[in-house]
């Protein structure tokens, strides 16, 4: 048994170390790599004569690209690798223009073999800048819906795992990161388009979840390990895997190869990037499919039965261990999909899942522990409140606001929004 656990852990660690492979893969180049982009002012008019200085991360200058009459520029690179691009402030001063976000005057980015990498340097104030409180609230509401749906997708598995096993899994955030990293490897290193790379990430997340249950959690359950001990083990496992990600993937964020820079489109008073619209639609479709599956399929009914009462489900002929394995695979796949969509919006990071973990717990507790539908509702509320709260508080404090609303609701309804009150004693 011990050898089996060690073998599975070794396999999981090897898989988590795969992000370290890029360093070798980026050595070879095809001679077709380049950076490109288009510089426009706040009114969308092309700007000519702006210099973009490109250099390696070691400070060696590669070249300077200058925008033409149509505002576009392109510069060939010596090969794949890590680069840094800086917009020349002197040329902007001569044209009496300013960056919309001064903190993004320098961009660091990877380039894979054969890639023509787009870069975006927005200038001036947008003509659709949010001026009124109502319009700003609408914009934040849309952002909150997008973020809340991503949290909900990641939190469903966390809630089902607790409902079926009683485990408070503090390593669930690493499944989110693992899925995003697997998709990044398939997309950036293996050259798959983002869509099939996302499928690879989801499959990797599902397999990782199933492997963790079969190789680690199931043997511990059979040995009668207590829930407190399991909780502590999950914390240690999360720390171990997270810092393996840091060691292999690096500490900075990395984008996917496609859909990095997109011009936002206007929908009435709000603006939104096409990739964010797709993220919202995909999240809604997946969560709707999850709800239908839990309600109407045999596997979904078995999951809900085990979550409600494992002993009664077992006596009814349901293979509880098989259902739990399915829950881990199901939850891992959903977490991976949520991580991939989050990485599409905010880029991929070694601790992106850990940063989302507190919000997932808030959503699960708010909606009702152990219920998938509660996790959906609670996470959606947390995401919307998180973004809209920045109307009145600093964005740096928005997580505090989310926890505050969690505390207030639990004071009124301790079982959560969709949870059922239980008699104690």
> Whole-angstrom Cα distance, residue 119 to residue 36?
6
In order of 54, 149, 271, 418, the CA distances from 259 in angstroms are: 21, 20, 17, 37
Q: Return the pLDDT at 177.
A: 95
In a domain, 112, yes or no: yes
**In the listed set 73, 94, 118, which residue is the last one of a domain according to the structure?**
118
In a domain, 128, yes or no: no
In a domain, 20, yes or no: no
Do 179 and 313 lie in a common domain?
yes
Residue ranges in the chain whose pLDDT is less than 70: 1-31, 42-44, 124-132, 370, 402, 418-425
Do 86 and 217 lie in a common domain?
no
> Whole-angstrom Cα distance, residue 215 to residue 73?
52
In a domain, 9, yes or no: no
Do 227 and 264 lie in a common domain?
yes
Do 100 and 139 lie in a common domain?
no
Number of domains in the chain: 2
Do 290 and 370 lie in a common domain?
yes
Q: Is 264 exposed, middle or buried (0-12, 13-18, 19+ CB in 10 A)?
A: middle
Q: Return the pLDDT at 58.
A: 84
In a domain, 14, yes or no: no
Specify whether the CB–CB gap between 225 and 333 falls below 8 A: no
Query: Which domain covers residue 80, as residue numbers?
Result: 35-118
> Whole-angstrom Cα distance, residue 389 to residue 399?
9
Q: Return the pLDDT at 132.
A: 66
Q: Return the pLDDT at 97.
A: 82
Q: Is 202 exposed, middle or buried (0-12, 13-18, 19+ CB in 10 A)?
A: buried
Do 112 and 189 lie in a common domain?
no
Q: Return the pLDDT at 398.
A: 78
In a domain, 334, yes or no: yes
Q: Return the pLDDT at 422.
A: 55
* Residue closest to 375 by CA, chosen among 343, 327, 419: 419
């Amino acid at each position: 048994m011990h050898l089996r656990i060690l073998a599975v852990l070794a396999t999981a660690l090897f898989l988590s170390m795969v992000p370290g492979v890029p360093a070798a893969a980026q050595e070879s180049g095809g001679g077709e790599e380049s950076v490109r982009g288009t510089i426009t002012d706040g009114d969308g008019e092309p700007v000519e004569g702006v210099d973009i200085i490109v250099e390696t991360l070691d400070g060696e200058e590669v070249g300077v690209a200058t925008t033409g009459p149509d505002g576009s520029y392109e510069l060939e690179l010596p090969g794949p690798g890590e680069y840094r691009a800086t917009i020349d402030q002197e040329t902007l001063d001569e044209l009496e223009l300013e960056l919309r976000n001064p903190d993004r005057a320098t961009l660091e980015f990877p380039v894979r073999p054969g890639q023509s990498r787009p870069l975006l340097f927005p200038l001036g104030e947008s003509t659709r800048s949010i001026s009124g409180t109502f319009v700003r609230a609408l914009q934040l509401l849309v952002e909150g819906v997008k973020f809340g749906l991503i949290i909900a997708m990641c939190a469903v598995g966390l809630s089902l795992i607790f409902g079926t096993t009683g485990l408070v899994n503090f390593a669930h955030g690493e499944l989110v990161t693992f899925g995003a990293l697997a998709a990044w490897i398939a997309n950036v290193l293996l050259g798959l388009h983002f869509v099939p790379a996302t499928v690879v990430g989801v499959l990797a997340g599902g397999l990782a979840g199933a492997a963790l249950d079969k190789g680690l959690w199931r043997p511990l359950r059979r040995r009668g390990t207590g829930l407190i001990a399991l909780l502590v083990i999950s914390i240690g496992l999360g720390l171990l895997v997270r810092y393996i990600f840091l060691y292999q993937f690096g500490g900075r964020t990395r984008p996917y190869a496609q859909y990095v820079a997109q011009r936002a489109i206007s929908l009435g008073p709000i603006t939104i990037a096409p990739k964010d619209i797709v993220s919202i639609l995909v999240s809604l479709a997946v969560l709707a499919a999850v709800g239908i599956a839990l309600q109407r399929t045999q596997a979904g009914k078995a999951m809900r039965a085990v979550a409600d009462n494992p002993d009664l489900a077992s006596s009814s002929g349901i293979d509880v261990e098989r259902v739990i394995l399915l829950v881990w695979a199901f939850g891992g796949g959903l977490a991976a999909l949520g991580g991939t969509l989050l990485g599409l919006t905010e880029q991929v990071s070694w601790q992106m899942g850990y940063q989302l973990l507190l919000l997932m717990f808030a959503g699960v507790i708010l909606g009702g522990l152990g219920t998938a539908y509660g996790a959906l509702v609670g996470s959606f509320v947390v995401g919307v409140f998180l973004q809209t709260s920045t109307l009145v508080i600093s964005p740096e404090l928005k997580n505090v606001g989310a926890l505050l609303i969690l505390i207030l609701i639990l004071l009124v309804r301790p079982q959560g929004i969709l949870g059922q009150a239980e008699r104690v004693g």
